[in-house]
Chain A
Amino acid sequence: DTEVTQTPKHLVMGMTNKKSLKCEQHMGHRAMYWYKQKAKKPPELMFVYSYEKLSINESVPSRFSPECPNSSLLNLHLHALQPEDSALYLCASSQGQRQNTGELFFGEGSRLTVL
Chain B
Amino acid sequence: GQQLNQSPQSMFIQEGEDVSMNCTSSSIFNTWLWYKQDPGEGPVLLIALYKAGELTSNGRLTAQFGITRKDSFLNISASIPSDVGIYFCAGQNNDMRFGAGTRLTVKP
Residue in A92, A100, A107 whose Cβ sees the most chain B Cβ within 10 Å:
A100
Q: Which residues of A contact B35 (CB under 8 A)?
A: 106
A65 to B31, CA, bound (A): 29
A2 to B40, CA, bound (A): 13
| A interface, size bucket | 20 to 34
Main secondary structure of the interface of A (DSSP, over half): loop
A104, CB-defined interface residue at 8 Å: yes
Interface size on B, residues (CB 8 A): 25
Q: Are the CB atoms of B88 and A105 closer together than 8 Å?
A: no
- Which segment, of A12-20, A41-49, A66-74, A75-83, faces chain B? A41-49
In the complex, besides A40-B103, A99-B93, 13 extra interface pairs with C-beta distance below 8 angstroms are: A41-B100, A90-B42, A90-B43, A97-B95, A98-B94, A99-B31, A99-B92, A100-B50, A104-B43, A106-B35, A106-B42, A108-B41, A109-B40
